[in-house]
A and B are shown apart, each in its own frame.
Chain A
């Protein structure tokens, strides 16, 4: 494992050494470092959203044998900058009959759990913003709040399509949360801890995707549903209910939802790479090749795995047609839930047999 401090940890160290004489009080320095971490996370979310808006269109173009954005800058790279400028310069329009407070607060609240969830993401060794004892459980709890802003938007818009979309959000996200949590439970049982850093450390020899293939599959499907992406994008379902809860939003208010959505996409991909793909652990290759892999800093591995997961989610989006509502609920409750329960049972029996075998 790479024990030398890499670029980001030494950067954090030098920020701390600059701040310490300025503030003095060690508690204050800790507080300021949390502020720096928060700033870093918010910067990451914004930058990532800009990249993903472009990336999604490029992937869509690739999947459908066309170019995607290609006019602004090399490979259309500056397209998202133009998009952001367009969104910011739009009129802030509020329909007359909306429920003022609920409607206006929804996009802001959408963004809050997305940011809060980043507190426990293990970006690298010693690079977990807050390494809570209950890490992964905190992530699940915080991201479950995302239902409420979508329902607020659906209700507050005073539009029947928005309300249908909001109701769909509740049905879909509350149901798919259960297989999502249960799929991670198998990996947690193997580790015996909810702490993000321990979960990643435990995968130094073998990644959990090899020990928990079914759980990984269930997780990826349930996470697609939790982020409301196709083929589970019934919440927006533009051919059925205009744009669901987002129908009455425009300009920056709409952009906040988009930002939250991409932040959530990055978060579920990051959790997938941390829980199933070994997080910041390098590719386990033998011999000199393995040493070369170890030379690459952990956060680069983590980013690489996360963006591979994001690519897979985009691949889903542009390949599968949308589910019907009844199919969606039936699939969640009758296929994914029993599958994840069976996985927990098999994992438990496996752990027991392993302990018996090694005479523990």
Chain B
């Protein structure tokens, strides 16, 4: 791809991602925050496309598109307020949140700096088949563990919703 087109696309997508992420934090209405979170995920998916990771981008859209919708549904149901326009208060907990965010950032940066990434100029030939082979051979334990974890979470959610006696 043309370098200039690549750079322009990257800055536009990065701008969308960062601005909407800032909006998620600073907007007062929690529903607006959630919609902007969807936009931020969308921007990240765009960056994946630029990195030739189309499969990852599609997964990002598929998983988070539905997840955001469900998040809003629960947000509206669980936050019992008549007026949603100030449902995302940020004052009381902001120092603690800032501290946590800085700590997470330090960990991320350290991990990125300390890892040796294998770098080539050529994008590796992508195939879903290769991905599936990796998931079902090298990473099969992690894959199965994640499956069991999700199943446990689902069963837990159903029991919580139904009440322990009924279930």
Using A147-B65, A147-B66 as known contacts, say yes or no to A134 and B54 having CB atoms under 8 A apart: yes
Q: Which B residues are in CB contact (< 8 Å) with A145?
A: 61, 65
Q: Does B151 reach chain A (CB closer than 8 Å)? A: no
Total contacting residues, chain A, CB less than 8 A: 28
Contact pick for B58, options A99, A134, A151, A163, CB 8 Å = A134
Query: Which parts of A126-155 form the interface with B (CB within 8 Å)?
Result: 132-134, 137-138, 140-142, 144-145, 147-148, 151-152, 155
Contact B54 A138 (CB under 8 A): yes
Total contacting residues, chain B, CB less than 8 A: 25
Q: Does A174 reach chain B (CB closer than 8 Å)? A: yes
Q: Which A residues are in CB contact (< 8 Å) with B62?
A: 137, 140-141, 144
Contact B72 A142 (CB under 8 A): no
Contact B126 A141 (CB under 8 A): no
Count A-B pairs with CB separation below 8 Å.
68
Query: Which parts of B4-18 form the interface with A (CB within 8 Å)?
Result: none
Using A132-B54, A133-B54 as known contacts, say yes or no to A151 and B61 having CB atoms under 8 A apart: no
Q: Does A27 reach chain B (CB closer than 8 Å)? A: yes
Contact A141 B66 (CB under 8 A): no
Q: Which B residues are in CB contact (< 8 Å) with A101?
A: 32
Q: Which B residues are in CB contact (< 8 Å) with A132?
A: 54
Question: How far does the alpha carbon of A155 sit from the alpha carbon of B84 in the complex, in Å?
Answer: 11
Q: Which B residues are in CB contact (< 8 Å) with A192?
A: 129
Contact A141 B31 (CB under 8 A): no
Min CB distance, B36 to chain A, in Å?
11
Top 3 A-B pairs, shortest CB-CB distance? A141-B58, A141-B62, A141-B61
Contacts A99-B29, A147-B69 known; list 12 others, CB within 8 Å.
A27-B2, A101-B32, A102-B31, A102-B32, A134-B55, A137-B58, A137-B62, A141-B65, A142-B58, A147-B65, A151-B72, A174-B70
